[in-house]
């Protein structure tokens, strides 16, 4: 992606205590790493659910997937990320339906982030649900998964340094986009989901595909209510514009025929 990202590297504990220039360089490196995996496939990862069952990343194919990494002993940024994501998830489920996407949150401090700890963390921050999985991991699996989604974490005194990041993965298991920051408004999550859910799975010339494209452009966010709604005025504007275009085309064709007949006479 070529757009410039003015996003600071968020850390749960101070990771870079040296000069500001060093911190800036590390932040840029983290962003480059994160952006560099967009378009890559995410596969071959298995985790342990809070009930002890195995979770394979491939089981989420067919729907968009939101992926986060956290550590449960984090006292500030990780809880804020999850709480922001919980709010956005509520809006997304209201917009698309509760079964339209999945979320996986992986604990990367594998000595501590057991299934029980992951369950407690989810409950403490009003997160989780039928389509939101909080999972434990082995150290090797967590490291490889972090690399796959462009997430760089490093141990520091009293905790870990890491970016505040939510990774959006498409229906085919490829990384679609990254969302940065510990606090974000629902559109940061809902808009990429909208592009994936309404943006191109079905042929545009089919009835279902046409309906999806209309939903894509006409489902808009109202910051006053914090919810998305279907804006019928956009449909009306498109319809009026199409009628005007057809009217102009009809006029041009009619005039062209008149000219042709006059020339033939």
Whether residue 36 is contained in a domain is answered as: yes
Q: What is the pLDDT of residue 256?
A: 66
Reported as a single tens digit per residue, the pLDDT across 114-155 is 999 999 999 999 999 899 999 999 999 999 999 999 999 888
Domain encompassing residue 129: 20-205
Please indicate, yes or no, whether residues 119 and 246 belong to a single structural domain of this protein: no
Calculate the alpha carbon distances from 262 to 254, 256, 259 in Å. Answer: 12, 10, 5
Query: What's the CATH number where 30 sits?
Result: 3.40.30.10
pLDDT score of 179:
94
Answer yes or no: do 78 and 183 share one domain: yes
Give the model's pLDDT for residue 82: 97
Comparing CA positions, the residue from 74, 141, 134, 66 lying closest to residue 105 is 134
35 within a domain of the structure (yes/no): yes
167 neighbors 151 (Cβ within 8 angstroms): yes
Does 8 fall in a domain?
no
Asked whether residue 11 is assigned to any structural domain, the reply reads no
- Average pLDDT of the chain, as a whole number: 80
Same domain, 179 and 249: no
Tell me: do 242 and 200 sit in the same domain: no
Question: What are the helix (H) ranges across 44-103?
Answer: 77-96
Domain end call among 169, 189, 205? 205
pLDDT at 30: 83
Domain count, the chain: 2
198 domain-assigned: yes
pLDDT 10s digits, 13-29: 434 333 344 467 777 88
Does this model's pTM top 0.85?
no
Q: Which of 137-146, 201-210, 216-225 has the weakest average pLDDT?
A: 201-210
88 and 163 fall within a common domain: yes
Range in 107-111, 120-124, 151-155, 253-257 with the lowest mean pLDDT: 253-257
Q: Please tell me whether residues 45 and 157 are part of one structural domain.
A: yes
User: Of residues 234 and 146, which shows the higher confidence score?
Assistant: 146
Cα-based distances in Å from 135 to 37, 56, 174, 241: 22, 11, 20, 50
Q: What is the mean pLDDT of residues 203-210?
A: 46
Q: Are residues 75 and 121 in the same domain?
A: yes
What pLDDT score was predicted for residue 218? 58
What is the chain's percent helix, strand, coil content, to nearest 5?
A: 45, 20, 35
Q: Is residue 153 part of a domain?
A: yes
Position 242 scores a pLDDT of 55
Q: What whole-number percentage of the chain has pLDDT above 70?
A: 69
* Same-domain check for residues 191 and 252: no
The pLDDT, as a whole number, for residue 54 is: 97
Do 198 and 246 share a domain, yes or no? no
Asked whether the beta carbons of 163 and 34 are under 8 A apart, the reply is yes
Residue 15 within a domain: no
Highest mean pLDDT among 36-50, 184-198, 250-264: 36-50
Let me know whether 128 and 196 are in one domain: yes
Within this chain, do residues 170 and 256 fall inside the same structural domain, yes or no?
Answer: no
Among the residue ranges 137-151, 217-231, 243-257, the one predicted with the least confidence is 217-231
């Amino acid at each position: 992606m070529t757009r410039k990202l003015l996003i600071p590297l968020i850390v749960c504990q101070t990771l870079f205590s040296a000069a500001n220039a060093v911190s800036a360089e590390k932040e840029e490196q983290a962003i480059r790493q994160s952006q560099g995996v967009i378009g890559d496939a995410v596969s071959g990862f298995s985790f342990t659910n809070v009930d002890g069952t195995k979770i394979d990343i491939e089981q989420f194919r067919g729907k968009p997937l939101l992926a986060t990494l956290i550590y449960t002993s984090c006292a500030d940024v990780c809880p804020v990320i999850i709480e922001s994501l919980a709010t956005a998830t509520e809006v997304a489920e209201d917009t698309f339906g509760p079964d339209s996407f999945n979320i996986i949150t992986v604990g990367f401090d594998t000595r501590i982030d057991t299934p029980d700890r992951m369950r407690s963390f989810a409950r403490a921050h009003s997160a989780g649900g039928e389509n939101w999985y909080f999972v434990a991991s082995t150290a090797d699996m967590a490291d490889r998964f972090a690399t796959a989604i462009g997430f760089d974490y490093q141990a520091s005194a009293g905790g870990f340094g890491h970016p505040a990041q939510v990774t959006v993965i498409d229906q085919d298991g490829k990384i679609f986009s990254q969302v940065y920051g510990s606090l974000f408004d629902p559109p940061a999550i809902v808009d990429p989901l909208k592009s994936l859910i309404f943006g191109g799975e079905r042929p545009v010339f089919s009835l279902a595909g046409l309906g999806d494209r209309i939903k894509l452009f006409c489902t808009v966010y109202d910051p006053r209510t914090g919810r998305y709604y279907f804006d019928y005025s956009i449909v009306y504007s498109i319809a009026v514009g199409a009628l005007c275009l057809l009217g102009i085309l009809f006029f041009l064709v009619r005039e062209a025929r008149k000219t042709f007949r006059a020339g033939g006479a």
